[in-house]
Amino acid sequence: MSKSGAHGAPPQPLTAIKAAAGLKGTLRVPGDKSISHRALMFGALATGKTTIKGLLEAEDVLNTAKAVTALGAPATKSGDTWTVLGRGTGGLKQPESPIDFGNSGTGTRLMMGVIAGHDITVAMEGDASLSRRPMGRVLKPLRQMGLLTREDRDTLPLTVEGSSHLVPIEYSLPVPSAQVKSAILIAGLMAAGETTVVEKEPTRDHTERMLRYFGADVETERRDGLTRITVHGDAELEARDVVVPGDPSSAAFLICAALLVPGSDITVEGVLINETRTGLYTTLKDMGADISFLNEREEGGEPIADICARHSKLQGVHVPADRAPSMIDEYPVLAAVAGFAQGDTRMDGLAELKVKESDRLAATAAGLAANGVRATVDGDTLIVHGGGKVAGGGTVATHLDHRIAMAFLTMGLASDAPITVDDTAMIATSFPEFRGLMERLGATYEI
């Protein structure tokens, strides 16, 4: 068990109780985290006043709001609308003190790209979990462009020095990473010339979509099995009105709970259905899930829909490695669902899970084992041996990982015996409304 919770606070354990009746209702989940981070950063780099509706007000995103404010682009809230007073590309200023990113890997890595194009020195720090996570993959290309780091290491805390004379580069991603791609493209806005990122496998394209929405010249070309994304430097971004769609990674827990609890029928409104984020829904449908996308539409350059899910009998499937980038955050909850499926569910290509908030692969397998579900980890593959039902009764070590906590609090709504997670404090980093929304649908949790 974790000895202390998030930020050193006492742990906040919670127990999920088997639902007595089906989960029912129509609701919305908070705004997408990836898009919320980018809206704040691009608003800061734009000229003029950007307004944002639906911003995810979780700790990770609020830390990004504090960061852009510290860099001279104030992010403020009035009613349900956030406003960022942009300073233009290259226009941010030296902060007066270190910037604390809390638990946010996305905020940290993308902000390195923002800082890279400015003649400023910034001390970046984070919590214990973030300070263990590797930054080398994003620092390597940014150093090629001209970013300097004072310390001889690739983990926080780090002091980084930007430059107004960045060099454009062409960079082939060694492993799929939307965060690394995004940091390079953001820095490329402030370099003289064209900066290109080459991907072997497609990753989330929120940065490209939103940069275009803000007026940047971004080209995407697919040929010979590769994707080349090029941003033209010396860019000028114009302030925009942004509506943040519902986060599909948050919606995933509600959808999965409905699939597992007999008699359930729920609708989650206004969810992002960008194809680089919908791998979980593709997989669940392969397993036999009754899921449908209704009222499909587009807002702010992103596709959204209302997602309807009903209780379903599920079969084990093979999830190919090339689907991993489109569902990397959803593997813990998929593993929880797979425990209730008939037969084996094999998930390939999970190397990225080992460097998330925890070693998510090991933590997921251990949580399954603690609740009577056989699972095998073979290299970067997880195989869940589903038996149609889950015994439960165990306590899950979350290792300060919000998605591990929420995955097993979802599993416990349908397991024979209750499931306890050792801490829930860190859920606030991404989905503070998790428990409240689950209980509105009919879930039961006990402290």
The domain ranges of the chain are 6-31+245-446, 33-242
Residue identified by tokens 């593709």 is 282
Q: Under DSSP, is residue 297 helix (H, G, I), strand (E, B) or coil?
A: strand
State pLDDT tens for residues 437-446: 999 999 999 9
pTM to 2 decimal places: 0.82
* Spatial CA neighbour of 164 closest among 140, 189, 139: 189
Q: Across-strand partners of 347?
A: 319, 382
Tell me whether strands 170-172 and 194-199 are parallel, antiparallel or unpaired: parallel
What's the per-residue H, E or C state across 19-38?
CCCCCEEEEECCECHHHHHH
Name every residue whose Cβ is closer than 8 Å to that of residue 208 and which is 6 or more positions away in sequence.
Answer: 185, 218, 220, 229
CA 17/CA 186 separation, integer angstroms: 45
> In degrees rounded to 5, what are phi and psi of residue 418?
-60, 155
* Spatial CA neighbour of 100 closest among 73, 122, 116: 122
Q: Indicate if 348 belongs to the active site.
A: no
* Spatial CA neighbour of 265 closest among 275, 273, 257, 277: 257
The alpha carbon torsion through 97, 102, 105, 106 (nearest 10 deg) reads -80
Residue identified by tokens 């400023």 is 120
The CATH architecture that domain 6-31+245-446 belongs to is: Alpha-beta prism (3.65)
The CATH architecture that domain 33-242 belongs to is: Alpha-beta prism (3.65)
- Catalytic pick from 32, 205, 329, 422? 329
Q: Residue 405 corresponds to which tokens in the numbers above?
A: 């906590």
List the chain residues with pLDDT less than 70.
1-8, 357-358
CA 264/CA 221 separation, integer angstroms: 43
Q: What is the DSSP string of 48-67?
A: EEEEEES---SHHHHHHHHH
